[in-house]
Chain A
Amino acid sequence: MTATASAGPLLAVRGVKTYYGNIIALKGVDIDVRQGEIVTLIGANGAGKSTLMMTIFGNPRAREGAITFAGQDITNLPTHEIARLSIAQSPEGRRIFGRMTVYENLQMGAGVTGMRHFGEDIEKIFTLFPRLRERRDQRGGTLSGGEQQMLAIGRALMSRPRLLLLDEPSLGLAPIIVRGIFEAIRRLNREEGLTVFLVEQNAFHALKLAHRGYVMVNGVVTLSGSGRDLLANPQVRAAYLEGGHH
């Protein structure tokens, strides 16, 4: 990992406004993700969390504001070029290549870095998610939801990213699987120093995992703070945590 990012945040979102046609989805969002952090963005359905995630990747494009990654303005870069700047994404809905095998899916993830570290990296993924090793020659579409999520994260990691964007990794998964996946994210952060930006509806788990968190309501960030503070915040508790832990 390079140490250049100490100068500023690795990812900086400044006053970003995004529209779907004429409908505004993000009404000026500011978010920082610093090197080595896990940052989470929580919020209800339709708050604009996934829109922000997609805006960072340039689709839809931010109509106002700026997004910088490691000091470089990426607001108007094409999606695939953003991906080549070692930002990896595990998109919403996982988007596994269904007819390709697990192994091929992982190979697709290594497209950015080429095949130089391929063997080494894939061993690392298989160590992180041993289930993927068992399923390596199985078609992606035949995996269970949890395995698909592991594959989506593994595929994203194959590009040796500096920043990993995760969009709702817990969506539709059993609690025990969610715990496993969040544990893997924590390990990646601790042992590899991987910076993670996590969009989640599952506020409890996300805030427990993250160093810092943002709360988004109707396209605006209304609250921010350390994961622990937000977990204790009465507003957050009332809006997102009541009714038990998911």
Chain B
Amino acid sequence: MQAETARMSVPAAIKDALLAALVMLGLSVPMLAWRTEQNMSNELILVPRWGAVAIACAIVFAGRLALSLFVWNRRAGARSVRVTRLLSIAGRAALAAAGALAFIACALVAWSLGHQASWIAIAAMAMVVAFLALLATFIVKASIGFEAARAYLAPAFLGFIAIFPIVAIHYAGWQGALKWIDNFGIQILIYVTLGWGLNIVVGLAGLLDLGYVAFYAVGAYSYALLAKQFGLSFWLLMPLAAILAAFWGILLGFPVLRLRGDYLAIVTLAFGEIIRLVLINWVDFSNGYAGISGIPRPSFFGIPFNADDDGFSAVFGLEFSPVYRTIFLYYLIFCLALLIAFVTTRLRRLPIGRAWEALREDEIACRALGINTVNTKLTAFAIGAGFGGLAGSFFAARQGFISPESFVFMESAMILAIVVLGGMGSLIGCAMAAILMIGGTELMRELDFLKTGFNIPGLGLSIPGFGADFDPTQYRMLLFGLAMVLIMIWKPRGLISTREPSIFYREKKAVSGSLVKEGHG
């Protein structure tokens, strides 16, 4: 087989892996080898952890070896025939199994080391899950082709999101579903909405905005303050919040018209912070750090979700449960997201949407083609901000309580990460990234087995946990970083990097090309 010859020979691979392990040794000595602890008499002492160093080096060695033997250089061989493709899928599955087995073996060897065993078991599980997911995507791609797989992606996605509450209720029961619909469904959909809003500014118009959370805050506070002060309805205030946020978008847009890239990023970052600091310090207006509580919740077209006689449950003859409101909110944000997706796909085909994309590509060429870049930028800022405001008003209505804590820079960074990881400009990519990042974070709260430990049924083994103090969510940033590095290595242009053209050439069948050539059109 041709593919075999192109691969690194085994001794060379081992040498390469040893070198990598050596680098890891050098790196891990200052970081892993000692831990500072206090002894009985409150003195700081160093606890050596050479076991951890050895494991880190072993992982690097095994990983590097596997990569250079099985993964790298695999493109060198001819892979056009479908059989070869299927073979390579089988090969990858085998590699997956081998990798997982190797990690489990490592885990068993290191079992005596206590806590470390849990880490390795987790790594092994993550590997198994990742490879199963890979295998599934490869099989789908191989059986129906890549293009077809993409065509099914969006409908499959939408279908799943539409039936998600039903699925959750079916599996988790009425009470258990609350958490899944609220913490997962609604939370993810809010970020999808925000991601799609920012996508207009960053993904389409190419204006790097690090302060997007400001518009989210404007939307949230607009709803909260107007609803509390004037008792206006949610349905009226939601579009109003969007308009106010859009207005702030234009306000930000004006001073930054001449800026691009890094400079624009800095100014927008500052803008986001200014809004937050004003909300903190202007106590008369926004109640400062204490935030605003008791924000009116949205009603079901006038019927409130409460236990009263005229409440939703009573009117529809149902037993009272908070889950109805949650389901309603879920579908509300789902509809908002759909609305934004619809508007965005429409706008892309209109002159303004095309101008955004052209602006992202080349501002000077845009001006030379008669595009008013000032208006183009301002509309991008305004519409992006308006969507952010929409999401903000929903957020306020869902929480019932808001404070400046919810609108820190971290949120902007998160939304931006969703847009960038999704592949600038791609709606479905954004949605995938939001699910990955927000869903992943929420999922970490569910990993109770890490505290308690778990049993491997077939083998009669039990892996010890980290104890009740262990909080997996603290490793959120670490995993974020890891995910981001991995995506940037394998998918440097984001999860969905291909850009769908907004217009296609329709061949004129009546006049053939050769005839036109003669007649000079």
Contacts and interface: CB of A to CB of B under 8 A. Distances in A.
A79 B372 CA distance: 8
Interface stretch (A101-109, A228-236, A238-246): A101-109
B490 interface: no
B364 A80 contact: no
A191 B520 contact: yes
A127 interface: yes
Interface string B350-368: 0100110110111011111
Interface in B307-347: none
B521 A95 contact: no
User: Which of B365, B366, B369, B513 has the most CB atoms of chain A within a 10 A radius of its CB?
Assistant: B369
Contact of A123 (B357, B365, B369, B516): B516
B508 interface: yes
B420 to A, nearest CB: 15
B73 interface: no
A119 B511 CA distance: 12
Contact of B520 (A96, A127, A136): A127
B503 A104 contact: yes
B167 to A, nearest CB: 38
A91 B503 contact: no
B501 interface: yes
Contacts of B521: 120, 123-124, 127
Contacts of A96: 361-362, 365
B369 A109 contact: yes
B368 A97 contact: no
A95 B365 contact: yes
A84 interface: yes
B501 A103 contact: yes
Contact of A99 (B354, B361, B368, B369): B361
Q: How large is the interface on A (under 10, 10 to 19, 20 to 34, 35 or more residues)?
A: 35 or more
Interface residues of B, number: 31
B502 interface: yes
A89 interface: yes
A108 B504 contact: no
Given A103-B501, A124-B521, A127-B517, A80 B358 contact: no
B250 to A, nearest CB: 19
Interface in A128-146: 130, 133, 136-137, 139
A100 B501 contact: yes
A80 B366 CA distance: 8
B501 A91 contact: no
A27 to B, nearest CB: 25
B368 A91 contact: yes
B505 interface: yes
Given A107-B354, A123-B516, A97 B361 contact: yes
B406 to A, nearest CB: 35
Given A101-B501, A136-B505, A137-B504, A83 B357 contact: no
A63 B367 CA distance: 20
A59 interface: yes
A71 interface: no
Contact of A95 (B360, B362, B501, B505): B362
A111 B369 contact: yes
B28 interface: no
A159 B368 CA distance: 11
Contacts of A103: 501, 503-505
Contacts of A127: 516-517, 520-521
B82 interface: no
B371 interface: yes
B370 interface: yes
A120 B371 CA distance: 22
A155 interface: yes
A97 B424 CA distance: 16
Contacts of B502: 104
Given A107-B503, A108-B354, A84 B370 contact: yes
Contacts of B369: 83, 108-109, 111-112, 155-156, 159
Interface string A54-89: 000101000000000000000000111101100011
Given A97-B361, A107-B354, A127-B516, A83 B367 contact: yes
Nearest to B362: A95
Given A104-B354, A127-B520, A191-B520, A137 B368 contact: no
Interface of A: 57, 59, 78-81, 83-84, 88-89, 91, 95-101, 103-104, 107-109, 111-112, 119-120, 122-124, 126-127, 130, 133, 136-137, 139, 155-156, 159, 191
Interface of B: 351, 354-355, 357-358, 360-362, 364-373, 499, 501-505, 508, 511, 513, 516-517, 520-521
Given A59-B364, A99-B361, A130-B517, 7 more contacts: A57-B367, A83-B370, A95-B362, A100-B501, A124-B521, A159-B369, A159-B370
17 contacts: A59-B364, A80-B371, A95-B362, A95-B364, A95-B365, A96-B365, A97-B362, A100-B361, A101-B501, A103-B504, A108-B354, A108-B358, A108-B369, A111-B370, A126-B513, A137-B505, A156-B369
